[in-house]
Amino acid sequence: MVDLPKKDAAFIDWYLAVVEEAQLSDKRYGVKGMNVWTPYGFLARRNLDRILVREIEATGSQPVEFPALIPATEFAKEKEHIQGFDAQVYWVTRGGLTELDVPLVLRPTSETAMYPVFALWVRSHRDLPLNVYQIVNTFRYETKTTRPFLRVREIHFFEEHTCQLDEERATERVQSNLVAFRRMADSFCLPYLAVRRPEWDKFAGAHYSIALDIPVGDGRTLQIGSVHHYRDNFSVPYGIRYEAPDGSARNAHQTTFGLSERLLGAIVAIHGDGRGAVFPAEVAPYEVVVVPIPSGDSATLVEAAALEIAARLGRAGRRVHVDRSEDRPGAKYYRWELRGVPLRIEVGRRETESRIATAVDRLGRKHPLPLDELDAAVARLLGEFDQALRAQAEARFRDSFSVADRLESLRDSTRVRLVGWCGEEACGHQIETSIDGALLGTPEGDLPIPVGVAKACVACGRVEGVRWAFASRPL
Amino acid sequence: MVDLPKKDAAFIDWYLAVVEEAQLSDKRYGVKGMNVWTPYGFLARRNLDRILVREIEATGSQPVEFPALIPATEFAKEKEHIQGFDAQVYWVTRGGLTELDVPLVLRPTSETAMYPVFALWVRSHRDLPLNVYQIVNTFRYETKTTRPFLRVREIHFFEEHTCQLDEERATERVQSNLVAFRRMADSFCLPYLAVRRPEWDKFAGAHYSIALDIPVGDGRTLQIGSVHHYRDNFSVPYGIRYEAPDGSARNAHQTTFGLSERLLGAIVAIHGDGRGAVFPAEVAPYEVVVVPIPSGDSATLVEAAALEIAARLGRAGRRVHVDRSEDRPGAKYYRWELRGVPLRIEVGRRETESRIATAVDRLGRKHPLPLDELDAAVARLLGEFDQALRAQAEARFRDSFSVADRLESLRDSTRVRLVGWCGEEACGHQIETSIDGALLGTPEGDLPIPVGVAKACVACGRVEGVRWAFASRPL
């Protein structure tokens, strides 16, 4: 058994220890920042992806996959975009023993791979909307310190790209993506902020960017995704034009919606505790672990009962694991708590005889589990577990914010700050310097805490056009 | 509507036309041989992958994912292996604006990515067997003519890698992989050959290789996968050693099992016909398409009935599509035949009133479909469809072979040839020259046609130690 660092006192050390001890990722690969998805981590990722696929396909988006390599000539077509990525892409310059005529970029994101082909797919207004998504790996030559799931060089990535008739339809798609993300986040039991980034921090090439940020304690935030409105910034250079019903040629308006393996990092970071990881039921590699507790001559009987419970739950579609290792029950409890399994079922001689086992959820709550109503009881307990996990996360979320009305007080807080902001870039930079972090931007939708109306810009004191904005130290 | 080339007369032209017209892949991407997975092609691939995952996990294999980039230093550790791949890998030499100290190879296969980490995972005999698999894309700088699914530069790839206690356990794993593939192939309705490759044609670094070959007509074959026994050829250079129960240190013995998107190409090639693609039910993007046939004032009623049928089948877990386009019913039939949907349900006014619709399967057989037993009837028809497809493919398979007892007659045949072979490499090369193709190797398991015992080597006439071998012109 290992002693985990304290989450409150040493968050990053705690996080790294949980990822390692729960065997979610192995970072001992020969390229720094490129980690191995171990079986347990891969299963969590597969469940997470399944939720993304379900929710995005429910909005009519279709799966595609574009190549990982992008010709330098296509990559360079949108000027702001290439400037935004130039310093952080991997270049393929050789094929076999031959120097390539046109070097290839390993995709850091797929605009420049997809849009030349979209120009072939979109010809008429009848081809719109075009809503497609892919789940692929992207690559960034990261120079900052890498951390499993949070900052890596090969990134497991979800990206939706759409073409719409006009700017208004594109705005609607952005909103529909935000609704889809609300459903996803509900499955992850993750509260979050939707934040419109300031001009100087929007995605390279975007008209505007809405980021999805999660407070992770100590006044820090983690961006786990974003939705962008591109207007026709890309459709012009890539020639994505269509014939309107009146015969005129128009540029498509585009949007994108991106999420990454950071979601898994956020799930570990937000729900985890002093005993290890805690997975919401839909994401958990195993929803249920069954631990047989043999005593004296009951070993065979008890193990048979454990296997029968697992078989019944498996038939009901549950992901379930029986721990048949030689370890003591206590060591098994410790292991599956560390690895974040939502529900543990303990089966000993007494339980076998009474037909009532004991279920212990990952929040430590014990429940009698009548074996004759196993499926229904487990479904109910998992639902209640998720609800409790969500409530716990939401309580902490609401407690993650505080108002700052002076630049000087921005820094001395362990909370994400709400500040009045006039919208001027100069004031924004002053705020960023004062907090030694970022002005995340203005809220898209409701504020997370009731603070009334913003009165004055925290930087210049102006009162006209002032809105609330978030400031934090991004992780 | 397009006229497809004749499959018998111009196989490759027919194949390319079907892939394009059925919208399975778009090859208009800016890098030759790197194609776009369109929504329809992606859905077929997803179903195919689901079958691979189900069957391999049933054998206790666990999913993982290793990085796509491999340091040149690791890549070079197994001498035969690197020689086998040297001329066909993509090299990443630059990150951002910096020349990399150690160039990175874009994985052509994952031995050299995985095995340094396996050396950390495998310490004791209790860590064995280690059976893991991944489904990822691999990259090969292909210099031959590329074809969608059959020969591409970014390859959708399934690869299992295992570590076993000893050579015998590794041999058992090879056999268990062959059994798993039999189940997979059954879902694809694909008959195939398992062939032990001759020494000079085994995988770079393998002890022996068993290939999975499919006759595709005209005496040609397509290799769609392989299973390899590595003995300790890789575990020695990569240091995959474990402590045996007696305390001694031993080398693990390894196996791999590889399959690729060629499977999808084979499904198109084998089952397709003059009207387009034909998908087995489990692989089909849509198992069922519902075509409403409105007449006069019945349009609303008929469309409602079509939607209700689709909703009921959807609830039963079927992949179903309602064609509500403006096209004539005939155009819709044509489209969904071209795209290979197993079952079409036609609903007009009469069908709505009688509660008996018409189902037409992709082999052209009509069936009355009682709407009051919809789910069960569709399940039965899909099962019967797959059975008929399998029987048709097996009949053609058995007709794909003939015996050749003289080198001179090897070439003038549209069949895969069975020849007697003494096992000598010189004779093998003579056979290859004579057929202007390859000696695939010796059958692993039963012969596909009853031909008795091999009598003499077709090249040297020797009679001792002679076995049957297959010779063909690989596609």
A312 and A453 in a single domain? The answer is no
- Report the predicted TM-score, pTM, of the whole model to 2 decimal places: 0.97
CA distance A472 to chain B (A): 28
Share of chain B above pLDDT 70, in %: 100
B252 and B188 in a single domain? The answer is yes
Structural domain count, chain A: 3
State phi, psi for A145 to the nearest 5 degrees. -60, 130
Residue A1 within a domain: no
Nearest to A106 among B64, B92, B117 (CB): B92
Asked if B117 and A37 come within 8 Å (Cβ–Cβ), the reply is no
Residue A277 within a domain: no
A256 and A311 in a single domain? The answer is no
Average pLDDT over residues A122-127: 98
| Residue closest to A109 by CA, chosen among A229, A300, A257 | A257
Average pLDDT over residues A224-231: 98
B324 and B413 in a single domain? The answer is no
Average pLDDT over residues A253-274: 98
Task: Mark which of B328, B359, B387 sits at the end of a domain.
Answer: B387
Residue A393 within a domain: no
A294 and A252 in a single domain? The answer is no
- Cα A284 to Cα A287: distance, rounded to the nearest angstrom: 5
B103 and B214 in a single domain? The answer is yes
Rounded to the nearest 10 degrees, what angle do helices A374-398 and A262-271 cross at? 90
A47 and A152 in a single domain? The answer is yes
A187 and A304 in a single domain? The answer is no
Average pLDDT over residues A398-409: 94
Q: What is the pLDDT of residues A317-338, one digit of tens each?
A: 999 999 999 999 999 999 999 9
Beta strand B288-292 pairing with B343-347: parallel
Is the model's pLDDT at B337 over the cut of 90? yes
Asked if A92 and B106 come within 8 Å (Cβ–Cβ), the reply is yes
Asked if A64 and B37 come within 8 Å (Cβ–Cβ), the reply is yes
Asked if A96 and B143 come within 8 Å (Cβ–Cβ), the reply is yes
Searching chain B, which residue's CA lies closest to the CA of residue A84? B96
Please say whether the beta carbons of A309 and A290 come within 8 A: yes
Tell me the C-alpha to C-alpha distance, in Å, between residue B380 and each of A214, A281, B281, B314, B376: 50, 35, 11, 16, 6
The CATH number linked to B301 is 3.40.50.800
Largest CA distance in chain A: 85
| pLDDT band (50, 70, 90) for residue B32 | very high
- For this complex, say whether ipTM is above 0.95: yes
- Cα B389 to Cα B365: distance, rounded to the nearest angstrom: 12
Searching chain B, which residue's CA lies closest to the CA of residue A95? B90
- Residues 9-28, chain B, touching A (beta carbon < 8 A): 26, 28
Residue B396 within a domain: no
- Mapping DSSP to helix (H, G, I), strand (E, B) and coil, where does residue A438 land? strand
Is B423 an interface residue toward A (CB < 8 Å)? no
Searching chain A, which residue's CA lies closest to the CA of residue B57? A39
Residue A267 within a domain: yes
Q: Which residue range forms the structural domain that includes residue B34? A: 11-271
A34 and A79 in a single domain? The answer is yes
A170 and A202 in a single domain? The answer is yes
Q: What is the pLDDT of residues B364-392, one digit of tens each?
A: 999 999 999 999 999 999 999 999 999 99
Residue A6 within a domain: no
Task: Mark which of B338, B359, B387 sits at the end of a domain.
Answer: B387
Chain A neighbors of B95, CB-CB under 8 A: 89-91, 141
Please say whether the beta carbons of A68 and A193 come within 8 A: no
Residue A362 within a domain: yes
- Residues 110-129, chain B, touching A (beta carbon < 8 A): 113, 116-117, 120
Q: What is the pLDDT of residues A64-73, one digit of tens each?
A: 999 999 999 9
Residue B281 within a domain: no
| Share of chain A residues as helix, strand and coil, in percent rounded to the nearest 5 | 35, 30, 35
Average pLDDT over residues B122-147: 97
Nearest to A39 among B93, B94, B132 (CB): B132
Asked if A65 and B36 come within 8 Å (Cβ–Cβ), the reply is yes
B53 and B198 in a single domain? The answer is yes
Tell me the C-alpha to C-alpha distance, in Å, between residue A365 and each of A285, A331, A384: 20, 19, 11
Is B88 an interface residue toward A (CB < 8 Å)? yes
| pLDDT band (50, 70, 90) for residue B84 | confident
Can you give the C-alpha Rg of chain A in angstroms? 25
Could you tell me which residue, B393 or B445, shows the higher pLDDT? B393
- Cα A442 to Cα A423: distance, rounded to the nearest angstrom: 9
The edge-to-edge listing of strands for the beta sheet with B343-347 is B320-322, B288-292, B343-347, B356-361, B366-370
What pLDDT, on the 0 to 100 scale, is given for residue A434? 96
Is the model's pLDDT at B351 over the cut of 80? yes
Could you tell me which residue, A43 or A446, shows the higher pLDDT? A43
| pLDDT band (50, 70, 90) for residue A203 | very high
Q: What is the pLDDT of residues B278-312, one digit of tens each?
A: 999 999 999 999 999 988 888 889 999 999 999 99
Is the model's pLDDT at A1 over the cut of 80? no
What pLDDT, on the 0 to 100 scale, is given for residue A83? 82
Searching chain B, which residue's CA lies closest to the CA of residue A152? B67
- Residues 371-410, chain A, touching B (beta carbon < 8 A): none
What pLDDT, on the 0 to 100 scale, is given for residue B80? 80
Q: Residue type for B396, please? A: R
B41 and B134 in a single domain? The answer is yes
| pLDDT band (50, 70, 90) for residue A84 | confident
The CATH number linked to B267 is 3.30.930.10
The CATH number linked to A443 is 3.30.110.30
Task: Mark which of A388, A421, A446 sits at the end of a domain.
Answer: A388
Is the model's pLDDT at B104 over the cut of 90? yes
- Cα B88 to Cα B105: distance, rounded to the nearest angstrom: 10
Is the model's pLDDT at A166 over the cut of 80? yes
Average pLDDT over residues A267-294: 97
- Residues 194-233, chain B, touching A (beta carbon < 8 A): none
